[in-house]
Structure 1
Amino acid sequence: MHPDVSADLAELDSTLKTVESVLDVEELRRRIDELEHQASDPDLWNDQDHAQQVTSELSHAQTELRRVSELRQRLEDLPVLYELAEEEEGEAQTAALADADAERTALHADIEAMEVRTLLSGEYDKRDALVNIRSGAGGVDAADWAEMLMRMYIRWADRHKYGVEVYDTSYAEEAGIKSATFAVKAPYAYGTLSVEMGTHRLVRISPFDNQGRRQTSFAEVEVLPVVETTDHIEIPEGDIRVDVYRSSGPGGQSVNTTDSAVRLTHIPTGIVVTCQNEKSQLQNKISAMRVLQAKLLERKRQEERAEMDALKTNEGASWGNQMRSYVLHPYQMVKDLRTSYEVNNPSAVLDGEIDAFIESGIRWRMSDAQQSG
């Protein structure tokens, strides 16, 4: 085996050992045994919330163990692939070496992704994420841009087989959306997506300008952790005003013939939340309450920890607080303005290929926290 390959495999082994140490594989196995024992108790489902918590934690722990075990197995198999390749001759050897190199490259990416996951150790990082997208400056182009971003995140979730639940979509009159709120349901969804928070800027030839001029548009992405029963976010009934109205779809068409959409106004803070994607008024009210609780939890966190202000700003979506630029004209580029990571394939990014941006964002946040600490 070539010395460069041996050195690379040794480096991969070192990184994977760090991941295994942080995850504490033995403790993970012990916890899985404990949770499996709880899950087999026939009385477990007497308490639905607790049962769902147990089964969710068990599923997550099993997935983590399977992922790290598979990475270890693949790393152990790699030297064998190279040995088998060296036994071949001519074109067969060239093809076998190419296969081994391709697996080594893929393993690099997968181990790095697992390593980034171990950097997510914040209080709420393990939770589902609540994503809110709002169109900013740029008129109809900005509304179209907000919808493109929503599609990007949903495609990203689909790629990873994460569940998505859309709570509210407020359509703009001509095209696109004014705002949307949806949940991404997966372990560490909040920790992962929280680095996407900020203003996203698009530069392109406007499809809505009959003179074909270049247009700059902005959209704001807010990411919140989903509230759990342990958070104690209690909202007195007198603090909420509830309005019901008819759901509307694209172009102002009525989606529902009944007043099933719900708008909640939290009177003390002025926070307004709407939900219209469920079939019934009650379901919409429950979903809207979840969103309101998440927003109030975030507000509480900001009050308790002043440094959270740096993560979430109240400025409008404009030049001031951009975090990523997407340029479709006069050249093709997507660039993260915090990490300087960039790619020249915007169509792939807008189709959900954002893992590299997320990983570099998590590493940047970690190094930034260490420097400021």
Structure 2
Amino acid sequence: MIAPTALELEEARRIRQEEVLHEYNLWDDLTRSNESLAALADAIKVVDDLKDLRYKAEEAKLITQLADMDIINHQLFKQAYKASLDVSKFLDRYEMSKLLNGPYDKEGACVTIQAGSEAIASEVWAEKILCMYARWAEKHGFMGRVVEKYPFKGGGVRLATIEFESEYMYGYLLGERGTHRMVCNSLDGSGVDEVIIFDLSCKFYALLNCFLTLWIMSSLQACSARVDVIPLFLDGPVDLHIDENDIEISSWSCEDKQPGCSSKPAVTVCHIPSSITVQSSGERSHFANKIKAMNRLKAKLLVVASEHGVSDVRRIKRGAVASEWDHETREYMFRPQKSVRDLKTGIQLLDLNSVLDGNIDAFISSHISFRQVR
């Protein structure tokens, strides 16, 4: 018996979803109806993608046959090569999507990068981590948007938030959560200029750069950036009720905490029982920032509750989140050997510059596989 193809399996799934919708009145249970409609839309999209994939594979096969007959030109070769790349990328995504079966894996992602407190170089390192994720999204055609950025006048950022509004981003990027540490074991200062960038437009800043470089050399081993990842719900607001007495909302201006920044009405929301705190400053109004901060808080609470196996967010223990935030995720070695080591899975890559340029798929895939085994 011949095993069914992926397209046949997905077609069967689409038919089952259509039958489910026909079995009951959509207005009887709106929650169930929305879930069924979303599942049907997902099944239809996968079927369409697989049909497109089959077309590209057949196209590449035809061009290969023409090449054997010596009736092909350079343009057709390029077309076949592009089609084969498209097929390979889709197969990788399709395989990963089948492994991403967590409760929020299909959602978008809100990624926050915060510079460590060890040294000035941490701010520049945090910006490099931000750029790494932006480049990764750009290479894959994902929609990534930097919504908050607190620059440091010596270079880099104190804190930045980037939102990925594509499906499965949370599942892909969940493994990035934790501390990303930059390690430089060189004592002669070599490699420092690779990390620290200052404005050398005048002699004063050039002199300041020399002093700061000497001072920072002693603390480069502790340079770090902390990354947090929460779901960005794509289909609407988070469905979670929080008692008003359990939250504390405060407002402040970005200019108060970061001189030179535009005076945006930022909002911080703290969940008192768990001490989980989030903020939003990327929107233009206080109301919009409050709504976004509340959505981020709800998303964070849902994730923590799921990970700790509690049904009521009020039962989340204080300090439960801090341990995850502080866990070391990855080491980036600048000296003596340029390499990157993932501490959760043991994966090590020997091309540091490539990783910082956004080529982190090996780490993402290994994290997804690691979660399945665990």
- When normalised by structure 1's length, the TM-score is 0.72
How far apart are 1:192 and its partner, in Å? 1.3
Three-state SS of the structure 2 residue aligned to 1:123 is coil
Structure 2 CA distance for partners of 1:178 and 1:355, relative to 1, 3 Å: same
The yes-or-no answer on 1:226 pairing with 2:206 is no
How far apart are 1:77 and its partner, in Å? 3.7
Distance 1:108 1:292 in 2: 37
- When normalised by structure 2's length, the TM-score is 0.71
Q: Specify the alignment match of 1:128 in structure 2.
A: 108
How far apart are 1:151 and its partner, in Å? 2.2
RMSD of aligned alpha carbons: 4.3
The yes-or-no answer on 1:181 pairing with 2:184 is no
Query: What does the per-residue CA deviation read over 1:89-146, in whole Å, with 9 as the maximum and x for residues that have no partner?
Result: 9xx7999889867865764454233212211111211112222222225322122212
Distance 1:52 1:253 in 2: 45
Q: Specify the alignment match of 2:248 in structure 1.
A: 241
- Paired AA for residue 123 in structure 1: P
Q: Which moved more, 1:351-360 or 1:229-238?
A: 229-238
The yes-or-no answer on 1:210 pairing with 2:199 is no
Q: Specify the alignment match of 1:353 in structure 2.
A: 359
Q: Which moved more, 1:163-172 or 1:125-134?
A: 163-172
Q: How many residues align?
A: 334
Structure 2 CA distance for partners of 1:79 and 1:164, relative to 1, 3 Å: closer
Q: Specify the alignment match of 1:44 in structure 2.
A: none
Q: Is the 8 A contact 1:262 1:285 kept in 2?
A: yes
Q: 1:193 aligns with which of 151, 169, 173?
A: 173
Q: 2:122 aligns with which of 135, 138, 142?
A: 142
How far apart are 1:199 and its partner, in Å? 2.1
1:78-89 aligned at under 5 Å gives the runs 78-88=60-70
Q: Which moved more, 1:273-282 or 1:172-181?
A: 172-181
How far apart are 1:225 and its partner, in Å? 2.1
Distance 2:336 2:298 in 1: 43
Q: Is the 8 A contact 2:106 2:168 kept in 1?
A: yes
Q: Is the 8 A contact 2:115 2:157 kept in 1?
A: yes
* Aligned sequence identity (%): 27
Q: Is the 8 A contact 1:135 1:317 kept in 2?
A: no
Structure 2 CA distance for partners of 1:65 and 1:173, relative to 1, 3 Å: same
Structure 2 CA distance for partners of 1:61 and 1:315, relative to 1, 3 Å: same
1:291-370 aligned at under 5 Å gives the runs 291-304=296-309, 314-315=322-323, 321-366=327-372, 368-369=373-374
Query: What does the per-residue CA deviation read over 1:273-329, in whole Å, with 9 as the maximum and x for residues that have no partner?
Result: 2211111110111111111111221232233169x99xx8634877xx433222334
Gaps of 5+ in 1: 1-12, 36-46
Q: Is the 8 A contact 1:168 1:274 kept in 2?
A: no
Structure 2 CA distance for partners of 1:97 and 1:261, relative to 1, 3 Å: closer
The yes-or-no answer on 1:151 pairing with 2:154 is no
Three-state SS of the structure 2 residue aligned to 1:210 is helix
